[in-house]
Amino acid sequence: MSGSKMKLGNYINGKWKDSLREEFLIVVDKYTQEPIAKLPMACESDIEEAIESSVKGFNELRSWSAGKRSEHLLKLYNALKNRQEETVNIIIQEAGKPRSYAEAEFKRCLATIENAVSEAKRFSGEMIPIDFDGGTGKTAFTKRFPIGPILCITPFNFPLNLVLHKVAPALAVGCSVIVKPAPQAPLSAILLANLLEEVGYPAGIANILNCNVPMAEKMVKDQRLSMVSFTGSEKVGWYIKSICGTKKIALELGGNAAVIVDKGTDLKTIAKTVANGAFLYSGQICISTQRIYVLESVFEEFKKNLVEEIKNLNMGDPKDNKTTVGPLIEKIHLQRIKEWVKEAQNEGAEVLIGGEVEDADHNIFQPTLMTKTKSPMKVMDEEAFGPIAIIEKVESFDKAIEKVNASKFGLQAGVFTNDFENVKKSHERLEVAGVIINNVPGFRIDSMPYGGIKMSGLGREGIKYAMEEMSEPRLLVY
């Protein structure tokens, strides 16, 4: 953070607030482990002020025209565009994200806001056909209205873009927000608060603060807030649902995303794509490739190609443009991944490559590919959120679909095939919210509907779809 002019603190009711008590959050560089910022933690009076101001902010924002909402988002877009170097460096430091991937996140952030600029002006309801029977001669249509203040709880792995996937649609549709960013990587959200202030959003429309779990739970339970939008772990997400009361909730949770590799495909090219899809950012993406199912006739060739591609991945300092596999977010996860690998080995799994800590001082674990895995090994059944993938052979495409579906999760799946019958079969039968053909499940464009089924969540993100979640249709008949 040296050299940055960014204001630090909790941004509440249009003001920058320090802590009223001696409770602070120390943010560290995830590679060097050196402190880079000291942030105050919000106390109970801060939480109350944030909620009260968010209600007032909503009452102002809901009265804005679509054009005014769009214009302010365009100002935000331009303000962020002018802070590229600072933003990318913050993402690299606080999230440990490799430079090329941090630069890609910055570009996606701009795309997210740009999409919100457009959607604010074209978002609408629908005409309802009722001109028959008892409705003859009548006209009906819906108009969508913003639902109210929204609590946004965000994860570390996309510390700015996943904040914007909640904030941008909320501001586009007319909802105020309170953002609680991940404690591991809150500085990107604080930068956003700086930009919101810079472009002139009125007090209360956006509050961005850091707080402990009891304070977060207080906000979750407070019925003055109309919705919770949460992205994070399965365990925390479903707990939030159990305590949020009658308010609306959207959950973007975990996964253990799968890939199917069919016969008759370019195995070498696919291996390169899958290696990157599994181990980019040390697999700390909820749609990282974790399970790989390969048709029996091409299994050995693909396995060999994949191992070779994994050997070519660069580990190390995320500031280096060549790095693909950087640090895990915290030491506890380095130990967890090591334990999962050893546990699977003890139960008969085989490590094809990797399997060890590469650099304990910098929290780097080797990209690890395993085979001969089975349920209930954690590497197969749970979300690794680390540099682990498994590869198994299947005797048929139908069997591959069964294997993919044998999971409690259901975010996205990747299918590599040149057989259109298998494309149709994948769409019809795979129990996931998104099927990506001839690419890894980590493919995401920020305007598309994104979310999960089963234990992977409720609702959809993507600007238009998030705006639908954050609004209610009101019917008019005359």
- Provide the residue-wise pLDDT of the chain in tens; the chain has 478 residues: 655 689 999 999 999 998 777 799 999 999 999 999 999 999 999 999 999 999 999 999 999 999 999 999 999 999 999 999 999 999 999 999 999 999 999 999 999 999 999 999 999 999 999 999 999 999 999 999 999 999 999 999 999 999 999 999 999 999 999 999 999 999 999 999 999 999 999 999 999 999 999 999 999 999 999 999 999 999 999 999 999 999 999 999 999 999 999 999 999 999 999 999 999 999 999 999 999 999 999 999 999 999 999 999 999 999 999 999 999 999 999 999 999 999 999 999 999 999 999 999 999 999 999 999 999 999 999 999 999 999 999 999 999 999 999 999 999 999 999 999 999 999 999 999 999 999 999 999 999 999 999 999 999 999 999 999 999 999 999 9
94, 103, 105, 252: the active-site residue: 252
Distance (Å, rounded) from C-alpha 5 to C-alpha 7? 6
Q: Among positive and negative, which fits the CA dihedral 214, 219, 223, 228?
A: negative
Domains of the chain: 10-253+456-477 (3.40.605.10), 258-445 (3.40.309.10)
Tell me, yes or no, if 286 is annotated catalytic: yes
CA 428 to chain centre: 25
Tell me, yes or no, if 86 is annotated catalytic: no
Supply the Cα-derived Rg of the chain in whole angstroms: 23
Peptide bond between residue 449 and the one before it cis (omega within 30 degrees of 0) = no
Q: Residue 369: name the closest of 357, 381, 379 by CA.
A: 379
286, 392, 468, 469: the active-site residue: 286
Contact at 8 Å (CB) between 142 and 473? yes
Distance (Å, rounded) from C-alpha 389 to C-alpha 371? 9
| Helices marked H in 6-65 | 44-61
| Helices marked H in 126-212 | 161-173, 187-198
Contact at 8 Å (CB) between 352 and 369? yes
- CB count, 10 Å around CB of 151? 27
Residue count (the chain): 478
Distance (Å, rounded) from C-alpha 462 to C-alpha 445? 8
How is residue 157 written in tokens? 């792995």
193: left (phi over 0), alpha (psi -120 to 50) or beta: alpha
14-21 CB contacts, 8 Å cutoff, 24+ apart: 14/53, 14/197, 14/202, 14/203, 14/204, 15/203, 17/42, 17/46, 19/43, 20/45, 20/46
Element of type H or E holding 94? helix 84-95
Q: What is the pLDDT of residue 160?
A: 98
